[in-house]
Amino acid sequence: MSVIAENLQRVQARLQVACQEAGRDLASVRLLAVSKTFDADAVRQAHAAGQMAFGENYIQEGVDKIQALQDLHLEWHCIGPIQSNKTRLVAAHFDWVHSVDRLKTAERLSTQRPTTLAPLQVCIQVNMDGGENKSGVLPDQALALAQAVAVLPNLQLRGIMSIPEPYDDAARTRAVHAQAHALWLHLKSQGLSLDTLSMGMTADLEAAVHAGSTLVRVGTAIFGRR
């Protein structure tokens, strides 16, 4: 078995334990394999081990891999910052975007989404803890942005993404996860139909599952250190 296949099994086992401890169904949490900085061959190995959904941060790098791996019919998620001059590439090549934090970006993605493709699946990135160098809309602006994105024609709003700062203090991480979950529930209570809370990475996936994450984005534990 390849190292990547073994790592994937380990991550699945971690998810299984976390779900058990949280009293959740394993099927309620999706695993997104974050392949940024790793080459197309690494993605092929993960696919051979059964992984179908992959996340990329750097848009041109992601598009190169998407094109090199077209034969596999994978699901591709853009999880990195999107500059205006990159929206066309995202709209043309990715299935999902987790990092929408401005209406302008969403409008461009909707306009540029080829109508031959399914709607682009969108999460709004929320900067829950106010990290200074971080993208994301502030929590009190999330509802307005979500409502505006929800009505754009070639997008389908699915939820929110949160990336807590890497705290040493586990209680702090848990508190930020809990806030993100509460915001997600609040948006749903306002009539938005959301099914995705994108939260949890290699270091905090258990805590994220406990807090109600429906999609964890895991890079290092699958592909190794970058």
**Where along the sequence are the contacts to ligand PLP (CB under 6 A)?**
34, 36, 57, 79, 163, 201-203, 217-221
User: Residue 109 or 218: which CB sits closer to ligand PLP?
Assistant: 218
Q: Which long-range contacts (CB under 8 A, 24 or more apart) does 144-148 make?
A: 145/100, 145/101, 145/102, 145/103, 145/106, 146/187, 146/192, 146/194, 147/190, 147/192, 148/103, 148/106
> Do the strands 53-56 and 30-34 form a parallel or antiparallel pair, or are they unpaired?
parallel
Q: Least distance to ligand PLP from the beta carbon of 25, Å?
A: 23
Chain residue whose CB lies nearest ligand PLP: 219
Q: How far is the CB of 128 from ligand PLP (least distance, A)?
A: 13
**Least distance to ligand PLP from the beta carbon of 15, Å?**
13
**Closer CB to ligand PLP, residue 33 or residue 155?**
33
* Maximum CA extent, the chain: 48
- In this complex, which beta carbon is closest to ligand PLP, that of residue 111 or of residue 223? 223
Q: How far is the CB of 125 from ligand PLP (least distance, A)?
A: 8
Nearer to ligand PLP, 141 or 202 (CB): 202
Alpha carbons within 13 angstroms on the beta-carbon side of residue 143 total: 10
SS3 assignment, position 76: strand
